Structure 1
């Protein structure tokens, strides 16, 4: 069964939601039958690729809140992250456009490394204070998770990955996604936001039970005889 997750690596609730979802999935008995598909989403495509303000300054301007209100909001977010087992350093966050990071994720998807890409980019942005619009930084992260550096270096100027990112964003708009994280279960149920693990587990359980009825597991009674296998063994 497919679970699709729309996310932006600059969204603090997306990392928290990822961790809570993972805790739920770990408790699910049939997790080997779950396919997780990461989808791109940009909360603010207007952010420049060169940082010119802190996260606090950005939120004061973007949300029209006072500095004290933003400080309180960031403190609450950090406390929520701690409950999920994440130690945010939001004062170190480098506010840059996430476009290149989404190109990185789209390429990682072609190598079955999307989850690893999401995890490392979240870690880089929220914990390590890395610049996720810097190509050298992204190449280093890519190497860390097993991506080919030469292949990855061409991704950031390849229109193909811009199109894949935009396709995800347009798809999100089509199904009514207004904010992230947004989790879609078998295109029947959705969970919006960084819900607690139990909420995810309940939705996984319900959607999988319905999916299994339509996709019953095939169990054959096999009478063994002499045969050859794909590894070249014949007996």
Structure 2
């Protein structure tokens, strides 16, 4: 079964929704039978590249409010993040253009490191306060998940994987996705936003049953005496 997730690395609800989905899969008993594919979405491609501006200024400008009011707004989001054991540090977060981050994720995915770089990019922005729009930061993150830094830098300095990124965005447009996170579960069910946890769990369960997946057994007790590979434990 495949679950597709459209998200952006500067969207606070995208990280929350990611954790909710992971919890739903873990609790479902279908781990190992569900593939999660992360898709690109750009909330604001006009954001300056290489900026290290605090997020409070742009947030205040967007909603025509004071910096202090913008800080108050983020407190509610931080509280929501704690529900899934994420400890957002809005004071350290930096505004970022995420085009290069999405290209890096596409490149990493082609090398079997898509899940690792997606998690690291979100962690870098929301927990570590790193400027994920900068090439040097992205190269370091790539190295941290086991990718070649030199190759990552060469890729980021060019235009590779832009087509793949914009293809995701076009598919989102065709699906009428207007905000993220957005989840498509087995091409049958859509979930928009970081919804209540029970909705994720119910939808994953419903789709898994309909797909004919076999739930893992819940083992009880410690392992007793048994025979395996032609040998019996008789001690």
Regarding TM over 0.5, the answer is yes
Q: 1:52 to 1:137 in 2, by over 3 A?
A: closer
State the distance in 2 between where 1:148 and 1:68 align. 42
- Are 1:206 and 2:214 matched, yes or no? no
What residue number does 2:11 align with?
11
Could you report, residue by residue, the CA deviation over 1:54-78 in whole angstroms, capped at 9, with x for unpaired residues? Answer: 2111011123234343222101001
Compute the TM-score of the two structures, normalised by the length of structure 2.
0.86
Deviation at 1:197, TM superposition (A): 2.8
SS of the residue corresponding to residue 59 of structure 1 reads helix
Gaps of 5+ in 2: 215-235
Could you report, residue by residue, the CA deviation over 1:102-144 in whole angstroms, capped at 9, with x for unpaired residues? Answer: 1111111112211111111111101111110221211111111
Could you report, residue by residue, the CA deviation over 1:203-228 in whole angstroms, capped at 9, with x for unpaired residues? Answer: 1111122222xx89xxxxxxxxxxxx
Deviation at 1:52, TM superposition (A): 6.1
Moved segments of 4+, more than 3 Å? 65-69
State the distance in 1 between where 2:40 and 2:156 align. 15
Query: Counterparts of 1:222-233 in structure 2 under 5 Å?
Result: none
Query: Counterparts of 1:102-141 in structure 2 under 5 Å?
Result: 102-141=102-141
- Are 1:58 and 2:58 matched, yes or no? yes
Q: 1:52 to 1:159 in 2, by over 3 A?
A: closer
- Are 1:143 and 2:147 matched, yes or no? no
SS of the residue corresponding to residue 6 of structure 2 reads strand
SS of the residue corresponding to residue 160 of structure 2 reads helix
SS of the residue corresponding to residue 3 of structure 2 reads strand
Compute the TM-score of the two structures, normalised by the length of structure 1.
0.86
Deviation at 1:150, TM superposition (A): 2.4
Gaps of 5+ in 1: 217-235
RMSD of the TM alignment (CA)? 1.6
How many corresponding residue pairs?
A: 214
State the distance in 2 between where 1:22 and 1:160 align. 30
What residue number does 2:89 align with?
89
What residue number does 1:193 align with?
193
